[in-house]
Each structure stands twice: as structure tokens, then as C-alpha cells.
Amino acid sequence: MQISVARAIAYEALRRVEAEGAYATDVLHADLAAKVKPQDAALATEITLGVLRWRRLLDFLLDRSLKKPVAKLDLPVAIALRMGLFQLCFLDRVPAAAAVNESVELVKRARKASAATLVNAVLRRATKEPNERVERLLPADLSQAERLAVLHSHPTWMVERWLARLGTAATEALLAANNKTPQLSCAINGIDHRDEVLSSLTKAGLRVFPGKLLKNAIAVSGGSPARSDAFHKGWMSIQDEASQIVPLLLEVRPGDRVLDVCAAPGGKTPTLVRAAGRMGMVVAADRHAHRLRAMRTQFERLGLGNVPVVELDATKSLPFGTEFDRILVDAPCSGTGTLARHPEIRWRLKPEQLQEFHALQMQMLKQALAQLARGGRLVYSTCSTEPEENDEVVAEVLAVCPRTRRVTAEEMTRGLSQHLVAGVEADTLFGRLGHFRTIPGAQNCDGFFAVAIEKE
């Protein structure tokens, strides 16, 4: 039996995520070349990300029919079972026979033919079982956190900390948002090509909608914008709207000297370059050489080949003989604000890593502030929802760094308002202390945090 292109791609993506620590979106972007039909690309993406989002719930259901937990089975067998059950439970348009038979074939193709009978039996049993409410299958003595963690397919420790900090209603809303397919947003690179971008995306078969937050953002569905001429010509980039907002908070002026400390993969740097203009200077830095190479490729696509790229360790004294008017520290973080877009993070992240990120981020922010000119502005940002990486980092660093202050919410809203679509009030995006914050489910974007700091 022949395996469909979509399922073959999904299987390989899931294998690489589990076996190699790859990120699903990166693997899919590489595998879903132009020769793959849009419908196959869509199904491969839906299966891959769906299995990763719902892995814990799928494993709970599968374990009821297995002698040992699915997580302890050979990886090809576990992936085939999860793929099959995901399609049976979540994809009504997929024929049950196709979901079962191709899962069996995937196991055979992976040279695990001895497990084919097991996969066939477990999935066929699932096709005959009534669609019971999963809540009825859970043990009665489960804690609230454990129950929500199974039903919404998250690690228990993550749910426990959110319940303690956010309460039940907000936690359930966040869990639900993390399991929805996120909006695919794009940034139009300047107003000159707006009409051409919209025409190019429509010609590529995509549906285009206005951005929810930014005038210069658009949302797309029905395919990948990376297949369009507009993308290849550098007229647009794929970027979440909250991520697009972060560099705007720096309020870069023409002629400014700007440093992007953790620039890779280069999504925020172009906004800084365009704002600084020909008389300005923007330096893009990162620690890893391979990420710098990828960033150069991104800049070349966008026609920004003259941006200086520097390899450095941002936790140590920065190797520049000049101070900068503007500095962006988009720090490495847990990524808990992007669990819908990168669902594998929820299974990889460990609670102790939050303190490790905290220490790393503290060092980066201190070193960057030392390079900031008097009267200059620095923006510290993460795509995390966790206070250890956000509010606590800023408070602890400012306590030991003299002549620094948070930019107030009022000041931040004045600068950002001009970029927002009509009807969006800038002050709804900032807290009392001037902290910019988006929450998955509350806005149609990832969860981001940012604060602007000025040196007096």
C-alpha cells in the first residue's frame, strides 16, 4: 500500500522532532517545497502540529489499549499510533480506513513490521468505540491540575503554576488557546509594495485579511506565504503581530546607532534598519555562527545585505568601542508564549530551566545596559509568559543599575498608537508599569513581554 505524501511528511517531521530535537515548523518549512500540493502541505502540517499539541491526551487514550505505555514503545510505533488516533479523533474529513491503514504501513516502512498487528488492532478498536467524553474516562481522584493537564494536553507542572498565578478561568483559557491553530501573520515591508503583496498572495491561492493590531500587518490562510513571489522578492515576511510590535517600541530615529543583541533569526532587525535609515547604523549580533548564516540569507532576501553581523556572547562584556542610541535585547527564553505555534516546547521544557533562563537574561540585560548611551532607549523582550523571565528580570536588573528608568505606559502608548489599526487602544497592551504584554487567546497573537528602559 502506498503512503500519502502528507502522512509521509508528517511522520518524518514527528520523527525528527522526537529523535533529533528539531522544531516542527522548521522541518515542515524545509520539506513542504513548491512541488508539494497545497492540500498535502496543509494536511501534513495539521497532523504534525496536531499530534504534538495533543500528545498527552492521545497517549492517555492509547494507553488504555496497550500493555505498556505508548511512550515506552519504539518511536516509529508510537508515532504511527499517535498519528492514527489523532486523525480518528480530530479530523472528521479523513476516512477512518485511511488513518488506520496508512498508520500500519508507516510502521512496516520503518522496519517495525512485528508491531503492525498491534497498531492495526489498537486503531481499529478506536474506530468502534463511542465518542465518550474524555472526562468520564479520567480517574475520580485526579487533582484539578492533573485533570486539566490531561484534558488540554499540557505538562502537569505547567498547569500547576498557571493555576496558582492566574486562577482557574484564565488558566483554562490559556490552555485552550495553546491548542488552537494560531493565526499566520505577515509584515509588509514598507508601504510601497502593499498592493503587489496582496495581489501576489491572492494569486498564490491564499486568503488575505487585515491585521488585528497593526496597520502594516496582514493575516493569511489557505497556504504558505513563503510560496508567493512577494515573499521571494522580499516585500513581506512571516511574523507574528506581537513580534512585529516589539522593535517599534524602540522608536528608532533616522541616524540612530542601533544594536540588536540577540538578532537571529533576523525577524525584528529589518524594522530597525528601515527606521534608522541610510545615515544610521544597525548591528545584528548573535552567539551562534549557523544562526548568523541563516540571518544573512534572510537579510539578502529583504535587500538588506549591508547590515553588519557580529558573533558574540551577550552574557559577557560587549566588544564595541561605541555606545548605542537604541538597543534591542530579544532574549532567549522558554517560549511559553508560543506553545500553539511550537507545541513541542511544552514537552521539552523543564521547570528548573526557568531559573536558568532568568540568570542568562539578567546577564544579557546588564551587559546591554552598559553599552547604552545616555538618553538612549533599550527594549528587553521575550516570548514567554513566565514572571521569572519577564517582570522579575527587569526589577532585579534595574535595582542594581543606576541612572536607569522604565519608560512609562503613557510614553509607550504615544509612540505605538500611530502604528495600530483603528479601534485598537494602545493602553490595553500595557500594564501599570509600562510593561507591554500580549496573552494567547486574549489577542490573536503569541504571548510576548517587553519593557523599555532609558538611561538618564
CATH number, domain at 387? 3.40.50.150
Distance of CA 346 to the CA centre of its chain: 12
Structural domain of residue 121, as residue ranges?
5-133
Domain boundary pick from 193, 215, 238: 238
Of 333, 383, 401, 445, catalytic: 383
Residue 436 domain-assigned (yes or no): yes
Contact 298, 228 (CB under 8 A): no
Contact 66, 85 (CB under 8 A): no
What pLDDT does residue 242 have? Answer: 97
Report d(CA 206, CA 226) in Å as an integer.
11
Question: Are 217 and 285 contained in the same domain?
Answer: no
Question: Are 409 and 444 contained in the same domain?
Answer: yes
Residue 84 domain-assigned (yes or no): yes
Residue 326 domain-assigned (yes or no): yes
Contact 24, 12 (CB under 8 A): no
Residue 141 domain-assigned (yes or no): no
Residue 21 domain-assigned (yes or no): yes
SS (H, E, C) the chain: CCCCHHHHHHHHHHHHHHHHCCCHHHHHHHHCCCCCCHHHHHHHHHHHHHHHHCHHHHHHHHHCCCCCCHHHCCHHHHHHHHHHHHHHHHCCCCCHHHHHHHHHHHHHHCCCHHHHHHHHHHHHHHHHCCCCCHHHHCCCCCCHHHHHHHHCCCCHHHHHHHHHHHCHHHHHHHHHHHCCCCCEEEEECCCCCHHHHHHHHHHCCCEEEECCCECCEEEEECCCHHHCHHHHCCCEEECCHHHHHHHHCCCCCCCCEEEECCCCCCCCHHHHHHHHCCCCEEEEEECCHHHHHHHHHHHHHCCCCCCCEEECCCCCCCCCCCCEEEEEEECCCCCHHHCCCCCCHHHHCCCCHHHHHHHHHHHHHHHHHHCEEEEEEEEEEECCCCHHHCHHHHHHHHHHCCCEEECCHHHHHHHHHHHECCCCCHHHHECCCCCEECCECCECCCCCEEEEEEEC
Query: What is the model's pTM?
Result: 0.95
Per-residue pLDDT 10s for the chain (456 aa) are 689 999 999 999 999 999 999 999 989 988 776 678 888 989 999 999 999 999 999 999 999 999 999 999 999 999 999 999 999 999 989 999 999 999 999 999 999 888 999 999 999 999 887 666 888 899 999 999 999 999 999 999 999 999 999 999 999 999 999 999 998 999 998 767 788 999 999 998 899 999 999 999 999 998 889 888 999 999 999 999 999 999 999 999 999 999 999 999 999 999 999 999 999 999 999 999 989 998 999 999 999 978 999 999 999 999 999 999 999 999 999 999 999 999 999 999 999 999 999 999 999 999 999 999 999 999 999 999 999 999 999 999 999 999 999 999 999 999 999 999 999 999 999 998 999 999 998 888 999 999 999 999
Question: Are 191 and 172 contained in the same domain?
Answer: no
Contact 271, 381 (CB under 8 A): no
What pLDDT does residue 34 have? Answer: 64
Question: Are 280 and 426 contained in the same domain?
Answer: yes
Report d(CA 261, CA 162) in Å as an integer.
30
Question: Are 230 and 341 contained in the same domain?
Answer: no
Question: Are 125 and 172 contained in the same domain?
Answer: no
Overall domain count for the chain: 4
CATH number, domain at 226? 3.30.70.1170
Question: Are 209 and 76 contained in the same domain?
Answer: no
Question: Are 227 and 252 contained in the same domain?
Answer: no
Tell me if residue 383 is catalytic.
yes
Question: Are 19 and 128 contained in the same domain?
Answer: yes
What pLDDT does residue 377 have? Answer: 98
Question: Are 191 and 290 contained in the same domain?
Answer: no
What pLDDT does residue 189 have? Answer: 86
Torsion angle in degrees (nearest 10) through CA of 114, 115, 118, 123: -140
What pLDDT does residue 1 have? Answer: 67
Question: Are 229 and 247 contained in the same domain?
Answer: no
Residue 139 domain-assigned (yes or no): no
CATH number, domain at 74? 1.10.940.10
Report d(CA 189, CA 193) in Å as an integer.
8
Question: Are 164 and 293 contained in the same domain?
Answer: no
Residue 138 domain-assigned (yes or no): no
Residue 201 domain-assigned (yes or no): yes
